[in-house]
Amino acid sequence: MFLSIVLLWISICFILLLLKSQRPKNFPPGPPAWPVLGNLFHLTSEDPVKNLEKLRQSYGNVYSLFLGSKPAVVINGLKAMKEAMVTKAADFAGRPQDLLINELTRSKGVILVDYGSTWRKNRHFDLMTLKIFGLGKKSMEDRIHEELQHTVKILDQSAGETLSPQVMFHNVASNVICKVLFGTRYEYDDESIKVMIQRFIELTKLINGPWAMVYDSLPFIHPVMLPKMKGIRIVQAFLSFAVSRVNEHKTSRIPGKQRDFIDCYLDELDKKNDESSFSEEQLVRQLFDLYLAGTDTTANTLLTAFLYLMNHPQIQERCQQEIDQVLEGKDRVTFEDRHNMPYMQAVIHEVQRVANSVPLSIYHCTTKDTELMGYSIPKGTLIIQNMISVLKEEGQWKFPHDFNPENFLDKAGEFVKPEAFMPFSAGPRMCLGEGLARMELFLITVTLLRKYKFIWPEEAGEPDYTRVFGGTSTPKPFNMKILLRSL
């Protein structure tokens, strides 16, 4: 009997040893991994970034984990990030194709499609089309200011009162990108767009969250888990909405007269051949990508901005002094005015730094066998960028752990942008919406600070700066009190 028990335990241990995830030769170090589960238990807390930071202390700036049996490399710090995303950009520009987000999107569009000719052609088309519709030009400024009139109306009605800004900022960002994509804006009480915005907020919490980590680590649960995933229904709802907009355009468009992104893409489809990288399905999926990229991160960064400005009134007041001085006699701010507002620029960039809106960026994978910081990284290895490790890296910032605009000012008070500022990642996979986000953040923040004073409500108690982790990072819901400024 005793011998049987011993043999049974030996057999179990042998099986577990066989199942144990093995690191390839000269692979980055990391914590021991469980058979089948890998390092799942290191990542399923409410904020996996804290787990990654702890592991960084033990294993260095380049270390490895296992999502189930799949090896992944976590990149930390400016030096490693630059080597991977800039110096060896093509080696690290792939996208993994077997994660939850790929199941939700079918790996179509432009953000998640793998590195290659289809991605290059569609990304180039998107960038050129965004420029046509004003990216970096006065016409885009006009769109933003037109939308701001509706926001100002809400704030005027709330002067002297307290309101929750969450929906308001999402509405602003949503309508700016909707004008570009669909040629129209939606009233804030439009039920369809209200539901859409709320669904996207839920979707971004799901992506990279604990359930996503479980899904990505355990392939054998996919058939059971996937049909029940709320994310599938959210994506399908947007795709149905986008298809209806495309069908409307197909009946109303005049070829060559481009009103918006859809018209431009349909014109491109008229030229396509059998080997074209363009299709109606690709169009619908790109509308999803561009809407997501143009809405959630911008709205969350604006929320972060006003959360910190309310609770650092001296910084808010200094911003307003600079705004009043530069804009004296002008009806409205322009994007060019940023060059005369070094402090305002420093504040907006500092907000982006502390917001860390996409904390793990979007996962990459290697396109070939390569090396990083002396380690060997096989082709197809999942790459996770820990962005907080750069945005709060010791030695790169004057005040890495504080909210302080001095991080972006030199001794003469002029705006400077440190090399470690990369909230949109870096290299060829850099965020498509960066240009639009920069313009929106500046114009919206300056316009609102010029007209209103924002106060933290006394009844709210101490502010909570804790971020809600997901595909994007957002502040916890809060209220703000609005006062009209007397100019």
Residue 45's CB: how many other CB atoms inside 10 A?
13
Establish if 8 belongs to a structural domain.
no
Given a cut of 60, is residue 342 above it in pLDDT? yes
Establish if 9 belongs to a structural domain.
no
Establish if 5 belongs to a structural domain.
no
Q: Does the global pTM surpass 0.75?
A: yes
Given a cut of 80, is residue 50 above it in pLDDT? yes
Task: Identify the three-state secondary structure at position 65.
Answer: strand
Establish if 395 belongs to a structural domain.
yes
Task: State pLDDT tens for residues 285-307.
Answer: 899 888 888 888 899 999 999 99
Establish if 74 belongs to a structural domain.
yes
Given a cut of 60, is residue 1 above it in pLDDT? no
Given a cut of 80, is residue 245 above it in pLDDT? yes
Residue 36 belongs to a domain with what CATH number? 1.10.630.10
Given a cut of 70, is residue 265 above it in pLDDT? yes
Section 157-169 average pLDDT: 91
Question: Nearest to residue 264, comparing CAs of 395, 133, 114, 140?
Answer: 133
Mean pLDDT, the chain, whole residue set:
86
Residue 405's CB: how many other CB atoms inside 10 A?
23
Which residue is listed with tokens 């996919």? 222
Establish if 467 belongs to a structural domain.
yes
Distances (CA, A) of 169 to 164, 181, 259, 296, 484: 10, 19, 25, 9, 19
For the chain, what is the domain count?
Answer: 1
Enclosing domain of residue 168: 14-484
Task: Identify the three-state secondary structure at position 228.
Answer: helix
* 445 or 255, which is more confident: 445
Amino acid at 293: A
HSE at residue 259, side-chain half, CA atoms within 13 A, is: 15
Using a pLDDT cut of 90, give the percent of the chain over it.
Answer: 52
- Dig out the tokens for 303 from the structure: 């929320």
Establish if 168 belongs to a structural domain.
yes
Establish if 6 belongs to a structural domain.
no
Task: State pLDDT tens for residues 2-33.
Answer: 444 434 444 443 344 444 457 888 999 999 99
